[in-house]
Amino acid sequence: MEDTLRAHHEMWDRKPVLRLIYRDMFDRLADACGPGPTLEIGAGLGKLKERLPDVIASDIQFSPWLSLVADAQNLPFRNRTFGNIVMIDVLHHVEFPLRFLRAAGQALRSGGRLVMVEPAITWGSVLFYRYIHQEPVDMSAEIFAEGTPDPHRDPYAANQAIPTLLARHREEFHRLVPELHISAISWFSFATYPLSGGFKPWALLNERLARNGLAIERRFEGLLGRSFGFRMLIVIERQ
């Protein structure tokens, strides 16, 4: 895990395209937040602080820039602590998503928001995620299964389908966690994200092309995002 974080730090410093892509996601998270203290889950490199300097950064593994170490499925907070919980690419790594969502609901104040940026499995993205991206896609997964988290489980284990399945089964989610409500879902990011290479050492476009690409994609995401988007922003509010 330390080797992965070190490699990601090196890529962040070396790739302006990578920083541009993530700062776009940071802006989306920040714009969707409401008032009150904000907890970040799965803070990773801790770069969201560049956009939200007062965010409380947490992750399941220790890093010196974190505020605390915590498992998303066992959040160590009293009820109604936060106005916002934010995260990027975390939900699809959680072993028992329902357990996490209930814990998040307990930690949020009334009217508080859980804001997530996650992979979106759409007509336009599915081949990339299934055959090019290293993480698996299992659309048959039972995302509302209950159980006890395995403390020895690889924190990078994943199923990229989980956020899309949550969106598709929102009525069941509302029944199981009635204090939470999915208030908004938006799909975004077309070619720019996959062509950036993410945290890989390669990129198929430079910073100027990426910046122009993001601007063009924003114009069309409302029309085309649900069918072709590679990313989704999910906003869940506590009643």
pLDDT digits (tens, 9 = 90+) for 159-201: 999 999 999 999 999 999 999 999 999 999 999 999 999 999 9
pTM above 0.85, yes or no: yes
- Pull the structure tokens for residue 102: 């209930």
- Pull the structure tokens for residue 171: 């009525």
The pLDDT assigned to 1 comes to 64
Report the pLDDT averaged over residues 38-48: 97
Beta 180-188 vs 68-69: how paired, if at all? unpaired
CA gap 191, 21 in Å, rounded: 11
CA gap 63, 46 in Å, rounded: 9
Question: Which has the higher per-residue pLDDT, 4 or 49?
Answer: 49
CA count, 13 A, side-chain hemisphere, 127: 3
pLDDT in tens, 204-215: 999 999 999 999
The chain-wide mean pLDDT, for the chain, equals 96
- What's the per-residue H, E or C state across the chain? CHHHHHHHHHHHHHCHHHHHHHHHHHHHHHHHCCCCCEEECCCCCCHHHHCCCCCEEEECCCCCCCCEECCCCCCCCCCCCEEEEEEECCHHHCCCHHHHHHHHHHHEEEEEEEEEEEECCCCCCHHHHHHCCCCCCCCCCCCCCCCCCCCCCCCCCCCCCHHHHHHHCHHHHHHHCCCEEEEEEEEECCCHHHHHCCCCCCCCCCHHHHHHHHHHHHHHHHHHHHHHCCEEEEEEEEC
Report the pLDDT averaged over residues 126-150: 96
Q: Is the pLDDT of residue 3 over 80?
A: no
The pLDDT assigned to 65 comes to 92
Cα separation of the two ends of the chain = 37
Contacts of residue 37, Cβ cutoff 8 Å, sequence gap at least 6 = 54, 56, 81, 82, 83, 84
Report the pLDDT averaged over residues 32-41: 98
Report the pLDDT averaged over residues 73-94: 94
The pLDDT assigned to 2 comes to 67
The pLDDT assigned to 6 comes to 85
Per the CB < 8 A criterion, the answer to whether 157 and 93 are in contact is: yes
pLDDT band with cut points at 50, 70 and 90 for residue 79: confident
Which residue range(s) make up the domain with 67? Answer: 2-238
CA gap 196, 40 in Å, rounded: 24
Query: What's the total number of domains in the chain?
Result: 1
Instruction: CATH number of the domain at 100, please.
Output: 3.40.50.150
